[in-house]
Structure 1
Amino acid sequence: MLSHFLNIILLIPALIIYIVFKDRGPRVAVESKEALNWTINVSGAVIILNILAAILGFIPIIGLIIGLLVVLLVWAVIIVNIIFSIIGGLKVKNGGSYRYPVNYRWIK
C-alpha cells in the first residue's frame, strides 16, 4: 500500500520499499514490484520528455512551441501518476490487488 502511495514522489521510495519489504510475504512482494515497475516507467517517460523539451527549446519559435507542449505532456504524465498511485494504494489498502494500466514490467 505504502509503495503505491509513495509513487507520487517517483522512483526512490518504491525501490527502497521493494528491497526492504519484499521478503515479508508474497502479497507485499507482488504489490511493491508492481509499484516499482510503474515508477520506473513514469520516471523514464518524465526524463525522456524533459530531455526532448530541453532540446526543442533551442530551436527558434517552432521548437519553443513544441517544447512547451512537451512540458505540458510531462505534467499530464505526473498527474496520471498521482491518480493511478492513489487508486492503487486505496485498492491495496482495502485488501485487493492493483495492476497499473500500460505498465511494462521491468522486474519480473
Structure 2
Amino acid sequence: MSDPNLPPADGQGEQPPQQPPQQPYGQQPYAAAPGQPAGAVPPQQPYGAPAGQPAGAVPPPQQYAAAPAAPLDPAQDKQWASFAHLGGILWFLPSLIIWLVFKDRGQLTNQEAKEALNWQITWILAWVVSQILGVIIGTFTFGIGYLLFSLLIPWALYIVNLVFSILGFVRVNSGGTYRYPLNFRFIK
C-alpha cells in the first residue's frame, strides 16, 4: 500500500491539491477597514486602556495614598514612651526607631522618645570624648591615663546610662514624664 499523499514513484499521477496558507495559531484573518490599504494592521486598543483613549497613549498613574496610621490609645502611648527610655540600654537605635515610627501617633511617645534619643546622643558624645582623652592622656602618662579614660570612665558612663534609662522607664510607665540631667536637646 502506498500513501495517497505522496506522489507516485514514477513521477506520474496526480499532484495533491494546493491548500491555502494557514494563519499562525491564535491569529484570525481580518478584512481591511474602509479607507485603509489592503494588508494594513488596524489600530488596536491597549490592554486595560479606557475606551476612547488613543492607541499607544499611556494612562495617567494611579494615585495611591497610604492611609494614616491610627493614633495610639493612652495605654499604648504610655507603653511606647516608656520603651523608648528602656531601649537606651541598647544605645540609641531603639529610641530612634520608636520616635520615627510613633512620633505622629502619640504626643507622650513623641515627647519621651525625643528626650530618650537626645540623652543617647549626649551619652555617645561623652563616650567618644572619653576615648579620645584616653588616647591623648595615655600617650603622655605611659598607659595610666589610657586605663582611666578608655576603660574605667566608659564603664562608669554605661552604668550612668543604665540607671537613667531604667529611671526614665519607671517614671513614664507610672504615668509621669522624665527629664535626663545634663541632656543636650539636639532634636527639638
Relative to the length of structure 1, the TM-score reads: 0.90
Q: Of 10, 14, 17, which residue of structure 1 is paired with 2:98?
A: 17
Which residue is equivalent to 2:158? 78
The TM-score, its normalising length taken from structure 2, stands at 0.53
Number of aligned residues: 106
Give structure 1 regions of 4+ aligned residues with deviation exceeding 6 angstroms.
Answer: none
Q: Which amino acid aligns with 2:153?
A: L
The reply to whether residue 100 of structure 1 matches residue 180 of structure 2 is yes
Aligned to 2:145: 66
What secondary structure is seen at the aligned counterpart in 1 of 2:109?
A: helix
Q: Give SS of 1:24's match.
A: coil
Provide the rounded CA distance (Å) in 1 between the counterparts of 2:142 and 2:121.
28
Greater helix share, structure number? 1
1:24-43 maps to which residues of 2 (within 5 A)? 24-43=105-124
Alpha-carbon separation, structure 2, partners of 1:63 and 1:95 = 51
Structure 2 gaps, min length 5: 1-81
Unaligned runs of 5+ in 1: none
Tell me the C-alpha RMSD between the 2 structures: 1.3
